[in-house]
A and B are shown apart, each in its own frame.
Chain A
């Protein structure tokens, strides 16, 4: 069964460093998303992406964040200058028929 994959599973970085989180969505899906879950809190929407452009972004998704689909398979989330409060689990999702399929997540730890 096709699934969404994410790499790395765990990323540790120092405050101020850039990180790129990678996702491979399910191949025939057209809508892509990033969500995050701070430890002990609910899952929050960051951004949605369709037809090579951002469809919607949340207040969290400020100028430090960017997304890209550099080729036909990968979907990346970049954080330019990480802050301590960016520590969270980041989930990628892709969507078909209003069903979003989530990847296993990348745990980002900012020290």
Chain B
């Protein structure tokens, strides 16, 4: 069974500092990988995804993530944090099999930006 571990339920960075949110997965074969963001009282919005090809993927709002198969990781980064980045971030995986594949989510990381 697939699982996702996000290290750190809360991360706090200063505005302008590097953002690094960690995600490790467990899967028998490399899955598809996703990062979602959830702003207060809103649904989940897709930030970026990795399915195949280049292992460094760029998403919206300046975020990017790198798939490292050897480390079973898909960490999310942003070079310079902005106040508007404060939100909850979820890493998720799904099977590569065709069809209605469910997402398996990590516990989430709440990102706080200090002025």
Number of interface residues of B (CB under 8 A): 23
Q: Are A31 and B100 in contact (CB under 8 A)?
A: yes
Q: Are B104 and A45 in contact (CB under 8 A)?
A: yes
B37 to chain A, nearest CB (A): 11
Q: Are A91 and B49 in contact (CB under 8 A)?
A: no
Known contacts A42-B90, A42-B108; decide if A102 and B43 are in contact (CB<8 Å). yes
Counting chain A residues whose Cβ lies within 8 A of the other chain, the interface size class is 20 to 34
Chain B residue contacts of A87, Cβ below 8 A = none
> When each residue 28-45 of chain B gets 1 if its CB lies under 8 Å from chain A and 0 otherwise, what string results?
000010001000011111
* Nearest chain A residue, comparing its CB with the CB of B107: A42
Assembly CA distance A42 to B90 (angstroms)? 8
B46 within 8 A of A: yes
Q: Are B99 and A44 in contact (CB under 8 A)?
A: no
Q: Are A100 and B43 in contact (CB under 8 A)?
A: no
B109 to chain A, nearest CB (A): 11
A14 within 8 A of B: no
Assembly CA distance A98 to B49 (angstroms)? 9
A56 within 8 A of B: yes
Q: Are B43 and A104 in contact (CB under 8 A)?
A: yes
B107 to chain A, nearest CB (A): 5
B67 to chain A, nearest CB (A): 15
What are 17 sample pairs from A and B whose C-beta atoms fall under 8 A apart?
A4-B43, A31-B99, A33-B102, A42-B90, A42-B105, A43-B44, A43-B103, A44-B105, A45-B102, A45-B104, A49-B100, A98-B51, A98-B101, A103-B43, A104-B42, A105-B42, A105-B43
Interface residues of A (CB under 8 A from B): 4, 31-33, 35, 41-45, 48-50, 55-56, 58, 91, 95, 98-105
Interface residues of B (CB under 8 A from A): 32, 36, 41-46, 49, 51, 90, 92, 94, 99-108
A49-B100, A95-B100 given; name 19 further pairs at CB < 8 Å.
A33-B102, A42-B90, A42-B105, A43-B90, A43-B92, A43-B105, A44-B105, A45-B103, A45-B104, A48-B101, A55-B99, A91-B43, A91-B44, A98-B51, A99-B46, A100-B103, A102-B45, A104-B41, A105-B43
